[in-house]
Amino acid sequence: MMIEYFGRHGCKQFIRGKPIRFGYKIWSLASSSGFVHQMEPYVGSHTHLVETGLGQGPSVVLGLAEKAEVPPGVKFYHDNLFTTLSLVDEMTLRGYGSCGTMRQTQLHNVPFTAPQTFKKTPRGDAEYLVEAEKLIVRWNDNSVVTVVSNMEREFTETEAKRWNKQKRTMDKVRQPKCIQDYNTHMGGVDLHDQFVSRYRVNIRSKKWWWPCFSWALNSAMVNSWCYYRSWKSGEKDLLSFQRLVAQTLLLRHGTKPSRQGRRSSMAVAITDATRFDNLNHWPCNTGSRYKRCKNCGGRTSFACGKCDVPLHVECFKKYHTE
């Protein structure tokens, strides 16, 4: 993940092709739903991840798994920046499932057809190799894709739909099962990034640490929402959930404005949420001078102890239910 930052700092990165090209880079371990389990800022050689001797990509995957204390049996999906044959072997030894796309330079002595030649074969063609408890598959789609997995010992295929430009229809093509699984579960980090970018904190500052702080708040909010969705089965969208959290924090820790003026729509929403919650509303004698009843407009010295609203005892029930 990338945290947008355009100032001067030794840890600032430039990554061509990313939606956020300039900023701080964060190594992240996320579920397919977008919940981030572990993250670590990239600071060059001082990055706090274990050095495995297998290269940067495998060290990131194994380091995040160790920090998150992931138990054996969990399945990992990673793109070609991290995937090597040595990583898949190490994940097998640790009891993890591993599946990821691979670059041509990482295949070494695997006897596959060259990508330029394999591209000329019909769409849906595949070649595979099973060795040392892992399956390596090359498939011709819109481009040549190579995937390695230790979760399958046999090559199996399913069907996928692809657009045919000449016929202008959807064609059914054969697709390896491991590639279908990869497409289904991959993309949790990008999904988390997408959620964070929707309603991010827009307060600007010249301090180098401020983007990291505001991003951490946004990321924590998205993680809370993902947990809420898994618990409540998606009753609220992200905006409604974020508004609810803000209102709750204002009710518990906020202070009243020192000046009288027109109330904001947020303040009205908070008052209404408190008014109709049916919890701990009791009439009390304020002992002060008479004020106007919020319900009927008459003079009264009584008020709701929770809402702090002037009310006649006779108007109390009507105000809190209608």
Confidence of residue 191 (pLDDT cuts 50, 70, 90): very high
Residue with tokens 């700092």: 9
Instruction: Mark which of 148, 183, 218 sits at the end of a domain.
Output: 218
Residue 223 has pLDDT above 90, yes or no: yes
Note the pLDDT of residue 259: 60
Instruction: Mark which of 160, 195, 218 sits at the end of a domain.
Output: 218
Confidence of residue 292 (pLDDT cuts 50, 70, 90): confident
**Could you tell me if 148 and 274 lie in one domain?**
no
**Could you tell me if 213 and 269 lie in one domain?**
no
Note the pLDDT of residue 264: 59
Average pLDDT score over residue span 220-232: 89
**Could you tell me if 272 and 213 lie in one domain?**
no
Q: Does residue 24 sit within a domain?
A: yes
Residue 270 has pLDDT above 60, yes or no: no
Q: What is the mean pLDDT of the chain?
A: 86
Q: Which residue range(s) make up the domain with 188?
A: 2-218
Q: Does residue 248 sit within a domain?
A: no
Residue 269 has pLDDT above 70, yes or no: no
Number of domains in the chain: 2
* CATH number of the CATH domain containing 271: 3.30.60
Amino acid symbol at 187: G
Q: Does residue 234 sit within a domain?
A: no
Which of 202, 235, 196, 58 lies closest to 49 in space, CA to CA? 58
**Could you tell me if 9 and 110 lie in one domain?**
yes
**Could you tell me if 273 and 204 lie in one domain?**
no
Cα–Cα dist 176/147, whole Å: 10
Of 16-20, 22-26, 144-148, 229-233, the one with minimum mean pLDDT is 229-233
Q: Where are the alpha helices (DSSP H) in the chain?
A: 56-67, 85-93, 115-118, 177-185, 188-198, 210-232, 238-253, 265-275, 316-321
Confidence of residue 281 (pLDDT cuts 50, 70, 90): confident
Helix axes 210-232, 238-253, angle to 10 degrees: 110
Confidence of residue 113 (pLDDT cuts 50, 70, 90): confident
Residue 287 has pLDDT above 90, yes or no: no
Note the pLDDT of residue 148: 92
Comparing 260 with 183, the larger pLDDT belongs to 183
Confidence of residue 49 (pLDDT cuts 50, 70, 90): confident
Q: Does residue 243 sit within a domain?
A: no
Note the pLDDT of residue 317: 84
Q: Whole-prediction pTM value? A: 0.73
Among 21-35, 101-115, 244-258, top mean pLDDT goes to 21-35
Q: How many percent of the chain have pLDDT more than 70? A: 95
Note the pLDDT of residue 267: 54
**Could you tell me if 52 and 134 lie in one domain?**
yes
Instruction: Mark which of 218, 240, 275 sits at the end of a domain.
Output: 218
**Could you tell me if 213 and 279 lie in one domain?**
no
The pLDDT tens digits of the residues spanning 62-90 come to 999 999 999 999 999 999 989 999 999 99
Task: Please give the radius of gyration of the chain, using alpha carbons only, rounded to the nearest integer.
Answer: 28
**Could you tell me if 210 and 73 lie in one domain?**
yes
**Could you tell me if 209 and 269 lie in one domain?**
no
- The tokens describing 118, both together, are 């394999």
Average pLDDT score over residue span 34-44: 90
Q: How many percent of the chain have pLDDT more than 90? A: 32
**Could you tell me if 44 and 99 lie in one domain?**
yes
Average pLDDT score over residue span 168-196: 90
Cα–Cα dist 218/220, whole Å: 5
Average pLDDT score over residue span 299-308: 86
**Could you tell me if 288 and 183 lie in one domain?**
no
Note the pLDDT of residue 64: 92
Q: Phi and psi at residue 229, in whole multiples of 5°?
A: -65, -40
Average pLDDT score over residue span 219-229: 92
- The tokens describing 176, both together, are 């390896």
**Could you tell me if 206 and 277 lie in one domain?**
no
Q: Is 282 left (phi over 0), alpha (psi -120 to 50) or beta?
A: beta
